Amino acid sequence: MNAQNSINENQHLNAKQQSIVSIATQTAVGDLEHLKIQLHKGLDVGLTINEIKEVLVQMYAYCGFPRSLNGINTFMNVLEERKGKGITDLEGKDASHFTDAVNKYETGKQTLHKLTGVEEKDPKTGANAFAPIIDIFLKEHLFADIFSRDVLTHQQRELATISVLAALEGVAPQLQFHLAVGLNIGLTESQLKQVFSITATHIGKQQAEIANNVLSKISDKKP
């Protein structure tokens, strides 16, 4: 494969990436009927059972336990339905054992550094200074416990996160942060616009337009 072909491919989400976006989007808004359709599609295009489980579990950090649990229960029903039809889906690898429990805060801090490309320096500012426990939860749980689970890559996790935030109302600041992270770890503007095209299909054009406007703000800041 030559360099030009590689560049062209990076302008589009592949079938598995599109499925991650659709699954995350439908889980975020609690549309279980359409989520069921997207779960079937995800398995059909080659996502493993454990990869989809991981997306659904991660959802609780961004849209809450109820939506995450509803998604997991829906997935259980999908798997039973497919099993009844004689379909055997690939289980896939499980997460490697996470051993750095003592230094989870530092692990999370290092992961966040990799994602953003920016080294965090003290003193804390903003919400992390006002409510220091949220900084601990973010570092130790989200960016250590969850992001250290290697069933999904960091890029896949950010793709799922961006999809959720694009689907939800009132979270533009968080979407802007994660769009910047996504671009930093290799997602392209064209791929992100494709995410929002999927948002428009599943959620509506107005929500997709909001997400595209947030992306434009980031693009305008580039040198």
Q: Round the average pLDDT of the chain to a whole number and report it.
A: 92
Token representation of residue 213: 């406007």
* CB atoms closer than 10 angstroms to residue 75: 22
**139 domain-assigned:** no
**186 domain-assigned:** yes
State how far the alpha carbon of 119 is from the alpha carbons of 67, 115, 146, in Å.
33, 10, 20
**54 domain-assigned:** yes
Residue 33 half-sphere exposure, CB side, CA atoms within 13 Å?
A: 1
pLDDT at 3: 36
- CATH code at position 163: 1.20.1290.10
The number of domains in the chain is 1
**46 domain-assigned:** yes
- The single-letter DSSP state of residue 141 is I
Work out the average pLDDT over 23-31.
98
Q: Note the Cα 145 to chain centre separation in Å.
A: 15
- The single-letter DSSP state of residue 143 is I
**116 domain-assigned:** no
Confidence check: pLDDT of 1 > 50: no
Question: Containing domain of residue 8, as a range?
Answer: 3-96+149-221
Tens digit of pLDDT for each residue in 87-114?
A: 999 999 999 877 666 699 999 999 999 9
**128 domain-assigned:** no
**166 domain-assigned:** yes
- The single-letter DSSP state of residue 124 is P
Q: What is the DSSP string of 73-87?
A: HHHHHHHHHHHHTT-
pTM: 0.92
| Pairwise CA distance, residues 200 & 207, whole Å | 7
Angle at 154 between CA 6 and CA 37, to 5 degrees: 85
**118 domain-assigned:** no
